[in-house]
Amino acid sequence: MKIKKAVFPVAGLGTRFLPATKALPKEMLPVVDKPLIQYAVEEALNAGIEQIIFVTGRGKTALEDHFDKSFELENILLSKNKDHDFKAITSLVPETGTIIYTRQNEPLGLGHAIWCARDVVGDEPFAVLLADDLVKSDRPVLSQMIQRFCRLRASMVAVMEVAPEETDKYGIISGKDIEDHVIQLDALVEKPKPAEAPSNLAIIGRYILTPEIFSILGEKKKGAGNEIQITDAMSILLQSQPIFGYRFEGRRFDCGNKAGFQMANVAFAMDRPEIKDKLLPFLKEIIG
């Protein structure tokens, strides 16, 4: 039951970042000097994932180019002895043949995007990573989860506590703690109003799913926001299989919104001594 495949839904329009995302996929927005999607792909590869599956859409070719060789740029960097930059652009390219692209041709929701990968995933458990959720941690979240999955052998979602008034921005779970960091779920609800939320434990964009999810998604039932939701499909899956919530270690940045994205940039920049030297005095200055 090794997790070998990871699905990256990257077909979203990124309207919250317009006009920046008019011609640029939102997953290509950089945190310091690396696009969001690269953080997510590196996390997956670090966790032992062997096959990357991008569910893309129109206008996302920059993503494909980013993970491809760029002969012209490589030659220029080599001829100018820019070894560091050369390494930065060549080391990010996974071995050819390990990335597969499939398309979601209508924006019908996250559950639908995942369903678009059904034939590539096949009949095995797989991971899903949402690049918008960037987590700064000693150990990548997916590695933390896969370690638990090896023993628990069931679907799992990363969870964290959010402010009770924010439940309508997330999938919300409830359940009971069964071991350190792990909750056995008894309910999942997509974006409930605070008064209706079963808890304030929110799903963050890291999932391990068993393949039975695909037949449920294939029914194409619409839920919150009139979209096909992965949370709803998992709620049906829960009737026949256990599902676990994993309280991950690390700090999550919601890079799907502008404030979270800026916070991520500051946090990741402060880890780089050459940037911190200039950034810290500046931050102190503007804070006053």
Smallest distance from the beta carbon of 254 to ligand G1P, in angstroms? Answer: 7
Residue with the two structure tokens 């939701």? 229
Does 25 engage in binding with ligand G1P (CB under 6 A)? Answer: no
Cα–Cα dist 267/288, whole Å: 19
Is the backbone peptide bond immediately before 19 cis, with ω within 30 degrees of 0?
yes
With a CB cutoff of 8 Å and minimum separation 6, the contacts of 149 are 1, 3, 125, 156, 208
Per-residue string for binding with ligand G1P, 160-179, x by CB under 6 A?
A: ----------xx--------
User: Residue 99 or 189: which CB sits closer to ligand G1P?
Assistant: 189
* 122 secondary structure, DSSP code: -
Taking CB under 6 A as the rule, which mask of x and - marks residues 94-133 in contact with ligand G1P?
Answer: ----------------x-------------------x-xx
Q: Does 255 bind ligand G1P (CB under 6 A)?
A: no
Q: Measured from the CB of residue 151, what is the shortest distance to ligand G1P in angstroms? A: 25
CB of 172 within 8 A of CB of 192? yes
Question: Does residue 205 touch ligand G1P according to CB under 6 A?
Answer: yes
Three-class SS of 228-279? CCHHHHHHHHCCCCCEEEEECCCEEEECCCHHHHHHHHHHHHCCCHHHHHHH
Tokens of 149: 């999955």
Query: Nearest residue by C-beta to ligand G1P?
Result: 171
Q: In this chain, which stretch among 87-95, 198-206, 242-250, 271-279 interacts with ligand G1P, using CB under 6 A?
A: 198-206
Nearest CB to ligand G1P, comparing residues 94 and 256: 256
Which of the ranges 138-146, 202-210, 236-244, 263-271 carries the binding residues for ligand G1P, by CB under 6 A? Answer: 202-210
The residues with which 221 forms a beta bridge, in sequence order, are none
Which residues of the chain form contacts with ligand G1P (CB under 6 A)? Answer: 110, 130, 132-133, 170-171, 190, 202-205, 229, 231, 256
